[in-house]
Structure 1
Amino acid sequence: MPWANTVVETEVPEWGRGRTVWHYARLVPGHGGTALDEDFLSGLVEAVPGALHQLSRLSLDRVYLACTSAAFTQSDRLAEVTAGSQVRVVSAFEAILVQLRECDARKIALVTPYPRDITEVEVIQFAERGVLVTGSASLGLADGYAEVTLNQQAALVDQLGKEAVQQADAIVLSCTGWPTQAAITMLRRRLGRLVTSSNAAIAQHALGSAREPHR
């Protein structure tokens, strides 16, 4: 996971319901920054082999890349750097796709904290994998995702508009770096449909279940 990410270690174990044991390695980009830009994303992927080496002496069932945006913006390079891994590497973006497929959710409404151009790339990447994005909204932030509030997330969903939400089979809160447990609970009750996030999808993938996370 990105070296400044403090949310993964909070959310994923709670959703694991005591059935999984998690080990962590931090990805530090070469320039040592934390703002989401091209250098940061490519730097995270380049750091993956070193992280895999840190974990190589552990008996693992799977390794997850807990950065959604690095996976969908650097997919080809990620495949190259993980090709020699002795354990399967699953990205947060792939985990979301698996959950959507198993729930037969082919249309989604997408909300992110990312800069708008990164969100637009994600919309395209979903479409290329057979998932239609009915609407998207983003906070336009390059950093500070852990401080995003529930009210901000609710406002993002409101920005989508009623039609986009009604047409969607699921709502996706993309990014491992912002807290989503409370948002998932609130939005599921309010909207009455599947709501998932990057961290929720990782946890559910590890559990071998596409069900929504429970509190």
Structure 2
Amino acid sequence: MSYLPYTLDADDPAASPMGLIVLQTDETIEPEFNAYFADRTYPIYVSRIPSGTEVTTDTLAQMEKALPAAADLLPKIRPYKVVGYGCTSASSVIGSEQVERMVQETCNTAVVTNPLRAASACAAHLGVSKFALLSPYIQDVNEPLRRAFAENGVSMDVFGSFGEAEESKVVRISRRSVVDAALKLGADSSVEAIFLSCTNLRTFDAICEIQERLGKPVLSSNQSLAWHMRELNSHQ
């Protein structure tokens, strides 16, 4: 074997990487992020975190202890401007500030966001605060989520759920089901906007139709997280 010479390329300082922590059971966020970030000039590095096959407050809370280990698996050669934690409901149970602290224990990142924090920021940016919530979750998960949004100034008095705890079924809820349910909830005259919750719920192809038919802003977990990460990445 011959040892051959090589040179090293310098990292582009303008192309700071972003990090994304994805649930082990999530089949949706990565393909949707590929669509939302199709024009990006910077890498997005992904790590997985153990998560339960069912979404309950207990399985969500368990992820808190696993966050540092998941963040530790992101490449460390360069610092991050932003890391996203891809779980809406767990963020409401653990708390956005605690999520950020746990990730920053092992990852050199300026800021950590999640769909709850991101959707709240997006709502403020749009100037809307009265949402209809569509989620796939069971009731025990819906309540802390609504409380957490309320603490961020977003009310969700109108809400509905598919009532499905099993992640493998959530990801296979049809586009038509999502559209029909969102249209029903969003038709309420008190509603200013609609939020489609859960990173594993397929919403990318549904948002435009819902928005056009209702004439109201439509946010989703993945859309909000992608928007907020892009915003934070450009301003850090």
2:43 corresponds to: 21
If asked which structure has higher relative contact order (CA below 8 Å, sep 6+), I would say 1
Superposition map of 1:87-166 within 5 A: 87=109, 88-143=111-166, 144-160=169-185, 162-163=187-188, 166=189
The amino acid that maps onto 1:14 is A
Q: Which has the larger radius of gyration?
A: 2
2:3 corresponds to: none
Contact 2:56 2:140 in 1 (8 A): no
**Residue aligned with 1:36, SS:** coil
Q: Structure 1 residue 122: deviation in Å?
A: 1.4
Contact 1:64 1:89 in 2 (8 A): yes
1:7 aligns with 2:28: yes
**Residue aligned with 1:93, SS:** helix
Structure with greater proportional strand content:
2
**Residue aligned with 2:27, SS:** coil
Q: Structure 1 residue 80: deviation in Å?
A: 4.5
Task: State the alpha-carbon separation in 2 of the partners of residues 97 and 161 from structure 1.
Answer: 18
Structure with greater proportional helix content:
1
The amino acid that maps onto 2:73 is Q
1:205 aligns with 2:228: yes
Contact 1:16 1:204 in 2 (8 A): no
Q: Structure 1 residue 90: deviation in Å?
A: 0.9
Contact 1:114 1:138 in 2 (8 A): yes
Q: Structure 1 residue 62: deviation in Å?
A: 1.1
Give per-residue Cα distances to partners, 1:125-159, cap 9 Å, x unaligned.
11121112140000111112110111221232255
1:213 corresponds to: none
The amino acid that maps onto 1:39 is D
1:41 corresponds to: 60
Q: Structure 1 residue 178: deviation in Å?
A: 0.9
1:186 corresponds to: 209
2:198 corresponds to: 175
1:73 corresponds to: 93
Task: State the alpha-carbon separation in 1 of the partners of residues 83 and 101 from structure 2.
Answer: 16
Task: State the alpha-carbon separation in 2 of the partners of residues 158 and 6 from structure 1.
Answer: 25
Contact 2:136 2:162 in 1 (8 A): yes
Unaligned residue ranges in structure 1 (runs of 5+): 210-215
**Residue aligned with 1:178, SS:** coil
The runs of at least 4 aligned residues of structure 1 exceeding 6 Å deviation read: none
Give the TM-score of the pair, scaled to structure 1: 0.87
**Residue aligned with 2:218, SS:** strand
1:52 aligns with 2:75: no
Equivalenced residues, count: 204
